[in-house]
Protein backbone atom coordinates (compact mmCIF):
# COMPACT_ATOMS: atom_id res chain seq x y z
CA UNK A 1 0.00 0.00 0.00
CA UNK A 2 2.78 2.41 0.94
CA UNK A 3 5.89 2.91 -1.24
CA UNK A 4 9.19 2.07 0.49
CA UNK A 5 10.22 5.74 0.86
CA UNK A 6 6.91 6.61 2.52
CA UNK A 7 7.15 3.59 4.85
CA UNK A 8 10.61 4.79 5.90
CA UNK A 9 9.25 8.26 6.69
CA UNK A 10 6.30 6.89 8.68
CA UNK A 11 8.58 4.61 10.73
CA UNK A 12 11.05 7.38 11.64
CA UNK A 13 8.16 9.76 12.36
CA UNK A 14 6.56 7.22 14.69
CA UNK A 15 9.92 6.69 16.40
CA UNK A 16 10.33 10.46 16.77
CA UNK A 17 6.98 10.73 18.58
CA UNK A 18 7.99 7.93 20.97
CA UNK A 19 11.39 9.50 21.70
CA UNK A 20 9.80 12.94 22.21
CA UNK A 21 7.60 11.51 24.95
CA UNK A 22 10.73 9.92 26.47
CA UNK A 23 12.30 13.40 26.46
CA UNK A 24 9.27 14.73 28.34
CA UNK A 25 9.56 11.82 30.80
CA UNK A 26 13.28 12.51 31.33
CA UNK A 27 12.55 16.22 31.77
CA UNK A 28 9.86 15.39 34.33
CA UNK A 29 12.33 13.25 36.30
CA UNK A 30 14.89 16.07 36.17
CA UNK A 31 12.28 18.55 37.37
CA UNK A 32 10.90 16.43 40.21
CA UNK A 33 14.36 15.46 41.51
CA UNK A 34 15.74 19.00 41.33
CA UNK A 35 18.48 17.94 38.91
CA UNK A 36 18.12 20.81 36.44
CA UNK A 37 21.43 22.34 37.47
CA UNK A 38 23.20 18.99 37.72
CA UNK A 39 25.25 20.24 34.76
CA UNK A 40 26.05 23.94 35.25
CA UNK A 41 27.09 24.48 31.61
CA UNK A 42 25.70 23.58 28.19
CA UNK A 43 26.05 21.62 25.91
CA UNK A 44 28.90 19.92 27.80
CA UNK A 45 28.63 18.92 31.45
CA UNK A 46 31.35 20.44 33.64
CA UNK A 47 33.15 21.09 30.36
CA UNK A 48 33.30 17.34 29.71
CA UNK A 49 31.64 15.16 27.09
CA UNK A 50 31.25 12.44 29.75
CA UNK A 51 30.31 14.04 33.09
CA UNK A 52 32.37 13.47 36.25
CA UNK A 53 31.54 10.78 38.78
CA UNK A 54 33.62 12.24 41.60
CA UNK A 55 34.24 15.73 42.94
CA UNK A 56 37.98 15.23 42.32
CA UNK A 57 37.28 15.25 38.57
CA UNK A 58 35.78 18.75 38.59
CA UNK A 59 37.69 21.56 36.82
CA UNK A 60 39.63 23.94 39.03
CA UNK A 61 37.62 27.00 40.12
CA UNK A 62 34.67 25.75 38.06
CA UNK A 63 32.10 27.69 40.11
CA UNK A 64 33.45 31.09 39.10
CA UNK A 65 34.10 30.05 35.51
CA UNK A 66 30.60 28.72 34.84
CA UNK A 67 28.83 31.55 36.64
CA UNK A 68 30.74 34.10 34.54
CA UNK A 69 29.75 32.23 31.38
CA UNK A 70 26.08 32.18 32.44
CA UNK A 71 26.13 35.91 33.19
CA UNK A 72 27.43 36.69 29.69
CA UNK A 73 24.81 34.46 28.04
CA UNK A 74 22.07 35.99 30.18
CA UNK A 75 23.12 39.48 29.13
CA UNK A 76 22.74 38.48 25.47
CA UNK A 77 19.36 36.91 26.26
CA UNK A 78 18.26 40.04 28.13
CA UNK A 79 19.13 42.18 25.11
CA UNK A 80 16.87 40.02 22.92
CA UNK A 81 14.00 40.25 25.43
CA UNK A 82 14.57 44.00 25.77
CA UNK A 83 14.35 44.40 21.99
CA UNK A 84 11.03 42.52 21.99
CA UNK A 85 9.62 45.05 24.47
CA UNK A 86 9.71 42.99 27.67
CA UNK A 87 11.90 45.42 29.57
CA UNK A 88 10.82 44.27 33.05
CA UNK A 89 11.81 40.68 32.33
CA UNK A 90 15.12 41.82 30.86
CA UNK A 91 15.82 43.92 33.95
CA UNK A 92 15.01 41.00 36.25
CA UNK A 93 17.37 38.68 34.37
CA UNK A 94 20.15 41.25 34.63
CA UNK A 95 19.65 41.93 38.36
CA UNK A 96 18.37 38.65 39.85
CA UNK A 97 21.14 37.45 42.15
CA UNK A 98 19.62 33.97 42.46
CA UNK A 99 20.57 33.36 38.83
CA UNK A 100 24.21 33.70 39.87
CA UNK A 101 23.94 31.22 42.74
CA UNK A 102 25.99 28.04 42.58
CA UNK A 103 24.70 24.53 43.31
CA UNK A 104 26.99 21.99 44.95
CA UNK A 105 28.11 18.99 42.88
CA UNK A 106 25.85 15.95 43.22
CA UNK A 107 26.74 12.96 41.07
CA UNK A 108 23.16 11.61 40.96
CA UNK A 109 21.76 14.94 39.82
CA UNK A 110 24.56 15.40 37.30
CA UNK A 111 23.91 12.07 35.62
CA UNK A 112 20.12 12.54 35.75
CA UNK A 113 20.47 15.81 33.81
CA UNK A 114 23.07 14.27 31.49
CA UNK A 115 20.76 11.36 30.56
CA UNK A 116 18.01 13.91 29.90
CA UNK A 117 20.32 15.69 27.45
CA UNK A 118 21.28 12.43 25.74
CA UNK A 119 17.62 11.56 25.15
CA UNK A 120 17.16 15.08 23.77
CA UNK A 121 20.04 14.53 21.34
CA UNK A 122 18.46 11.26 20.14
CA UNK A 123 15.17 13.13 19.59
CA UNK A 124 17.02 15.78 17.60
CA UNK A 125 18.56 13.19 15.29
CA UNK A 126 15.17 11.47 14.85
CA UNK A 127 13.62 14.76 13.76
CA UNK A 128 16.58 15.44 11.48
CA UNK A 129 16.04 12.13 9.68
CA UNK A 130 12.29 12.77 9.62
CA UNK A 131 12.96 16.04 7.79
CA UNK A 132 15.37 14.32 5.38
CA UNK A 133 12.96 11.46 4.61
CA UNK A 134 10.09 13.92 4.14
CA UNK A 135 11.64 14.93 0.78
CA UNK A 136 9.74 12.00 -0.69
CA UNK A 137 6.53 14.04 -0.25
CA UNK A 138 7.82 17.26 -1.81
CA UNK A 139 5.63 16.71 -4.88
CA UNK A 140 2.81 14.47 -3.66
CA UNK A 141 2.10 16.18 -0.29
CA UNK A 142 4.24 19.26 0.26
CA UNK A 143 2.55 19.92 3.63
CA UNK A 144 4.41 16.97 5.17
CA UNK A 145 7.76 18.24 3.90
CA UNK A 146 7.15 21.82 5.07
CA UNK A 147 6.05 20.90 8.59
CA UNK A 148 8.85 18.33 9.03
CA UNK A 149 11.44 20.99 8.17
CA UNK A 150 9.68 23.56 10.39
CA UNK A 151 9.77 21.05 13.25
CA UNK A 152 13.51 20.64 12.79
CA UNK A 153 14.00 24.40 13.19
CA UNK A 154 11.71 24.41 16.22
CA UNK A 155 13.73 21.67 17.92
CA UNK A 156 16.95 23.61 17.26
CA UNK A 157 15.34 26.63 18.95
CA UNK A 158 14.24 24.31 21.76
CA UNK A 159 17.85 23.17 22.25
CA UNK A 160 18.97 26.81 22.47
CA UNK A 161 16.18 27.52 24.95
CA UNK A 162 17.43 24.57 27.01
CA UNK A 163 20.77 26.35 27.33
CA UNK A 164 18.90 29.45 28.54
CA UNK A 165 17.13 27.32 31.16
CA UNK A 166 20.59 26.40 32.49
CA UNK A 167 22.10 29.88 32.20
CA UNK A 168 19.15 31.49 34.03
CA UNK A 169 19.43 28.90 36.80
CA UNK A 170 16.00 27.36 36.15
CA UNK A 171 13.99 30.58 35.95
CA UNK A 172 10.35 29.32 36.16
CA UNK A 173 8.85 31.19 33.17
CA UNK A 174 11.70 30.02 30.91
CA UNK A 175 11.05 26.42 32.00
CA UNK A 176 7.34 26.89 31.24
CA UNK A 177 8.06 28.05 27.68
CA UNK A 178 10.52 25.16 27.29
CA UNK A 179 7.83 22.64 28.27
CA UNK A 180 5.07 24.17 26.12
CA UNK A 181 7.41 24.22 23.13
CA UNK A 182 8.04 20.50 23.64
CA UNK A 183 4.28 19.92 23.30
CA UNK A 184 4.26 21.97 20.08
CA UNK A 185 7.03 19.75 18.66
CA UNK A 186 5.05 16.62 19.57
CA UNK A 187 1.91 18.02 17.90
CA UNK A 188 3.75 18.79 14.67
CA UNK A 189 5.16 15.25 14.60
CA UNK A 190 1.72 13.75 15.24
CA UNK A 191 0.24 15.93 12.49
CA UNK A 192 2.81 14.89 9.88
CA UNK A 193 2.38 11.24 10.89
CA UNK A 194 -1.39 11.55 10.50
CA UNK A 195 -1.14 13.21 7.08
CA UNK A 196 1.35 10.59 5.85
CA UNK A 197 -0.73 7.60 7.01
CA UNK A 198 -4.11 8.96 5.90
CA UNK A 199 -2.74 9.93 2.49
CA UNK A 200 -3.02 6.33 1.27
CA UNK A 201 -5.00 4.61 4.02
CA UNK A 202 -8.41 6.32 3.94
CA UNK A 203 -9.90 3.65 6.21
CA UNK A 204 -8.65 5.47 9.30
CA UNK A 205 -10.89 8.43 8.46
CA UNK A 206 -14.69 8.62 8.43
CA UNK A 207 -16.98 8.97 5.44
CA UNK A 208 -19.73 11.06 7.01
CA UNK A 209 -19.92 14.51 8.52
CA UNK A 210 -18.93 14.64 12.20
CA UNK A 211 -18.16 18.32 12.59
CA UNK A 212 -20.01 18.57 15.90
CA UNK A 213 -17.97 15.70 17.39
CA UNK A 214 -14.75 17.18 16.06
CA UNK A 215 -15.71 20.55 17.56
CA UNK A 216 -16.25 18.91 20.97
CA UNK A 217 -12.82 17.29 20.63
CA UNK A 218 -11.37 20.70 19.79
CA UNK A 219 -13.02 22.26 22.88
CA UNK A 220 -11.62 19.44 25.01
CA UNK A 221 -8.11 20.16 23.72
CA UNK A 222 -8.57 23.92 24.25
CA UNK A 223 -9.66 23.28 27.84
CA UNK A 224 -6.64 21.02 28.35
CA UNK A 225 -4.30 23.74 27.02
CA UNK A 226 -5.71 26.24 29.53
CA UNK A 227 -5.39 23.62 32.28
CA UNK A 228 -1.74 22.98 31.36
CA UNK A 229 -0.92 26.71 31.38
CA UNK A 230 -2.63 27.16 34.77
CA UNK A 231 -0.83 24.01 35.96
CA UNK A 232 2.53 25.58 35.14
CA UNK A 233 1.46 28.47 37.39
CA UNK A 234 0.81 25.97 40.19
CA UNK A 235 4.22 24.42 39.63
CA UNK A 236 5.95 27.80 39.63
CA UNK A 237 4.25 28.70 42.92
CA UNK A 238 5.28 25.37 44.47
CA UNK A 239 8.85 25.86 43.21
CA UNK A 240 8.88 29.29 44.86
CA UNK A 241 7.58 27.87 48.13
CA UNK A 242 10.15 25.08 47.95
CA UNK A 243 12.96 27.64 47.67
CA UNK A 244 11.92 29.39 50.91
CA UNK A 245 10.32 26.58 52.93
CA UNK A 246 10.87 22.83 53.22
CA UNK A 247 7.48 21.99 54.79
CA UNK A 248 5.90 20.32 51.76
CA UNK A 249 2.59 19.63 53.51
CA UNK A 250 1.70 23.33 53.26
CA UNK A 251 2.58 23.85 49.58
CA UNK A 252 -0.85 23.12 48.05
CA UNK A 253 -2.75 25.13 50.64
CA UNK A 254 -0.45 28.10 50.13
CA UNK A 255 -0.56 27.90 46.33
CA UNK A 256 -3.84 29.81 46.54
CA UNK A 257 -6.45 30.43 43.88
CA UNK A 258 -4.31 29.21 40.99
CA UNK A 259 -4.53 25.63 42.34
CA UNK A 260 -8.33 25.84 42.75
CA UNK A 261 -8.69 26.98 39.12
CA UNK A 262 -6.44 24.15 37.94
CA UNK A 263 -8.48 21.60 39.91
CA UNK A 264 -11.84 22.78 38.53
CA UNK A 265 -10.44 22.74 35.00
CA UNK A 266 -9.42 19.12 35.63
CA UNK A 267 -13.04 18.27 36.50
CA UNK A 268 -14.14 20.01 33.29
CA UNK A 269 -11.61 18.00 31.27
CA UNK A 270 -12.94 14.78 32.81
CA UNK A 271 -16.54 15.68 31.91
CA UNK A 272 -15.55 16.52 28.31
CA UNK A 273 -13.68 13.25 27.87
CA UNK A 274 -16.47 11.13 29.35
CA UNK A 275 -18.99 12.87 27.10
CA UNK A 276 -16.76 12.55 24.04
CA UNK A 277 -16.19 8.85 24.73
CA UNK A 278 -19.91 8.04 24.85
CA UNK A 279 -20.71 10.20 21.79
CA UNK A 280 -18.02 8.43 19.74
CA UNK A 281 -19.12 4.99 20.96
CA UNK A 282 -22.67 5.72 19.73
CA UNK A 283 -21.53 6.94 16.29
CA UNK A 284 -18.59 4.63 15.54
CA UNK A 285 -17.83 0.95 15.78
CA UNK A 286 -16.20 -0.08 19.03
CA UNK A 287 -13.35 -1.50 16.94
CA UNK A 288 -12.71 1.77 15.09
CA UNK A 289 -9.52 3.73 15.68
CA UNK A 290 -11.65 6.71 16.78
CA UNK A 291 -13.28 4.64 19.55
CA UNK A 292 -9.88 3.28 20.55
CA UNK A 293 -8.36 6.74 21.02
CA UNK A 294 -11.47 8.00 22.81
CA UNK A 295 -10.97 5.15 25.29
CA UNK A 296 -7.23 5.89 25.57
CA UNK A 297 -8.01 9.56 26.30
CA UNK A 298 -10.55 8.57 28.96
CA UNK A 299 -8.05 6.24 30.66
CA UNK A 300 -5.32 8.90 30.57
CA UNK A 301 -7.57 11.59 32.04
CA UNK A 302 -8.46 9.13 34.83
CA UNK A 303 -4.77 8.51 35.59
CA UNK A 304 -4.18 12.25 35.45
CA UNK A 305 -6.90 12.85 38.03
CA UNK A 306 -5.50 10.11 40.30
CA UNK A 307 -1.98 11.55 40.13
CA UNK A 308 -3.43 14.97 40.99
CA UNK A 309 -5.15 13.49 44.03
CA UNK A 310 -1.86 11.88 45.12
CA UNK A 311 -0.12 15.24 44.74
CA UNK A 312 -2.78 16.89 46.88
CA UNK A 313 -3.12 14.23 49.57
CA UNK A 314 0.52 13.16 49.97
CA UNK A 315 2.43 16.46 50.02
CA UNK A 316 3.53 16.68 46.36
CA UNK A 317 5.73 13.54 46.07
CA UNK A 318 8.31 13.59 43.26
CA UNK A 319 7.04 10.46 41.45
CA UNK A 320 3.51 11.91 41.26
CA UNK A 321 4.86 15.18 39.81
CA UNK A 322 6.56 13.26 37.00
CA UNK A 323 3.49 11.08 36.41
CA UNK A 324 1.20 14.12 36.33
CA UNK A 325 3.39 15.88 33.75
CA UNK A 326 3.98 12.91 31.45
CA UNK A 327 0.38 11.66 31.50
CA UNK A 328 -0.84 15.19 30.82
CA UNK A 329 1.36 15.35 27.70
CA UNK A 330 0.24 11.87 26.60
CA UNK A 331 -3.37 12.95 27.04
CA UNK A 332 -2.78 16.03 24.93
CA UNK A 333 -1.19 13.92 22.18
CA UNK A 334 -4.01 11.35 22.23
CA UNK A 335 -6.71 14.03 22.09
CA UNK A 336 -4.94 15.89 19.29
CA UNK A 337 -4.66 12.70 17.22
CA UNK A 338 -8.31 11.87 17.96
CA UNK A 339 -9.40 15.29 16.70
CA UNK A 340 -7.48 14.68 13.47
CA UNK A 341 -9.09 11.24 13.10
CA UNK A 342 -12.54 12.79 13.28
CA UNK A 343 -11.95 14.55 9.95
CA UNK A 344 -13.98 13.47 6.94
CA UNK A 345 -12.28 11.36 4.27
CA UNK A 346 -11.97 13.11 0.91
CA UNK A 347 -13.32 10.99 -1.92
Residue 232: pLDDT over 80: no
Q: How far is CA 195 from CA 10, 151, 270, in A?
A: 10, 15, 28
Least Cα distance to 342 among 210, 199, 192, 216 occurs for 210
Rounded distance, CA 46 to CA 58, Å? 7
Taken in order 148, 150, 152, 158, is the CA torsion positive or negative? Answer: negative
Q: pLDDT tens digits for 65-119?
A: 777 777 777 788 888 888 878 788 777 777 777 666 777 788 888 899 899 899 9
Q: What are the residue boundaries of the structural domains of the chain, listed by start?
A: 1-200, 204-347
Q: pLDDT tens digits for 10-52?
A: 999 999 999 999 999 988 888 778 777 788 777 788 888 888 8
- pLDDT on residue 166: 73
Q: pLDDT tens digits for 131-152?
A: 999 999 998 899 999 999 999 9
Mean pLDDT computed over 220-244 = 77
- pLDDT on residue 5: 86
Average predicted confidence (pLDDT) for the chain: 83
- pLDDT on residue 175: 78
Q: pLDDT tens digits for 174-230?
A: 778 888 899 999 999 999 999 999 887 767 766 555 677 888 888 889 888 888 888
DSSP 292-342: HHHHHHHHHHHHHHHHHHHHHHTT--HHHHHHHHHHHHHHHHHHHHHHHHT
207 by DSSP, 3-state: which? coil
Ranges 134-138, 253-257, 336-340: which has the least confidence: 253-257
Indicate the pLDDT class of residue 159, thresholds 50, 70 and 90: confident
H helix or E strand, kind and range, residue 165: helix 142-167
Rounded distance, CA 106 to CA 127, Å? 32
Least Cα distance to 133 among 282, 2, 239 occurs for 2
Mean pLDDT computed over 315-336 = 87
237 vs 303, which has greater pLDDT?
303
Residue 250: pLDDT over 70: no
137 by DSSP, 3-state: which? helix
- pLDDT on residue 347: 43
DSSP 208-256: S--HHHHHHHHHHHHHHHHHHHHHHHHHHHHHHHHHH---GGGHHHHHT
Mean pLDDT computed over 249-273 = 80
Indicate the pLDDT class of residue 255, thresholds 50, 70 and 90: low
Residue 240: pLDDT over 90: no
Amino acid sequence: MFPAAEKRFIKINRLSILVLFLVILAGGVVRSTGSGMGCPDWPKCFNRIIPPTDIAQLPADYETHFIEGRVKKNERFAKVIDALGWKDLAYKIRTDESIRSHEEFNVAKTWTEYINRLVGVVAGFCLLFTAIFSFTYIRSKKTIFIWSVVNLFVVVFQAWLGSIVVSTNLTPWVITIHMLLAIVIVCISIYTYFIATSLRDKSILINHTAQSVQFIAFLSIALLVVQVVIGTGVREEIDHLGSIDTIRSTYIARAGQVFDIHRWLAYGSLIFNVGLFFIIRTRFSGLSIQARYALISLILVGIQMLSGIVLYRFDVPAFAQTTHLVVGCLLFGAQFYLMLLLGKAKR
